[in-house]
Amino acid sequence: MLLVGLTGGIGAGKSTVSALLAELGACIVDADEIARQLQSAGSPVLAAMVERFGDSILHSDGSLNRAGVAAIVFGNDDASKAALKDLNGIVHPVMQAEILRQIKVGHDDGQHVVLDFPLLAENPRDDLDATIVVDIDPEIAVDRLVNARGMDETDARNRIANQASREKRLAIASHVVDNSGDVEMLRAQVADVWGQITG
């Protein structure tokens, strides 16, 4: 059974590719979804985050205020960089353990597993049989984030700037999916790439 990495910058359409791979029979291990579950209200991870960043990262109901965390960790100054490092130190060890558990479950069920992980270029893994990178021009990504997701343009550009560069992501790719076209073009590419990997 294969373990395939899937990554792409914010706004690249990685979630859409992930959904298409699931339609093709892949078992998806979604790192973002795991992070959301680990950071749910009342969780030990969220408690550690509050201890480091304060109550301002919580909504009134005790759930995580993601925009509040983003404002702290995605700036361009040294304090933001230190905060992001601390956040990763809290979240990543627990997250890695859960990722490994879910990969094992998928493989035990006889499925090829796709690890949907936005930070794959920043945190390379040596256990992948292939790595799919969803690629898009950063300006198209900004346009989609602003117009489709309603994100503030400055926030969108800050988030892109805080991720691995397009070049760094492409350097780890064994397969590249270009998402600058429409959904049908994307669907055809994903099917072709998955066929190459699993064939």
Residue-level pLDDT at 149: 87
- In this prediction, residue 16 has a pLDDT band, given cuts at 50, 70 and 90, of very high
Whole-prediction pTM: 0.85
Q: What is the pLDDT of residues 65-117, one digit of tens each?
A: 998 998 899 877 899 989 999 999 999 899 999 999 999 999 999 999 999 99
Q: What is the pLDDT of residues 51-67, one digit of tens each?
A: 999 999 999 999 999 98
- How far from 112 is each of 21, 106, 134, 146, 179, CA to CA, in Å? 10, 7, 19, 34, 23
Distance, in Å, from the CA atom of 142 to the CA atom of 14, rounded to the nearest integer, reads 15
Written as six digits, the tokens of 114 are: 């796709």
Distance, in Å, from the CA atom of 173 to the CA atom of 121, rounded to the nearest integer, reads 9
Distance, in Å, from the CA atom of 120 to the CA atom of 98, rounded to the nearest integer, reads 16
Distance, in Å, from the CA atom of 146 to the CA atom of 76, rounded to the nearest integer, reads 20
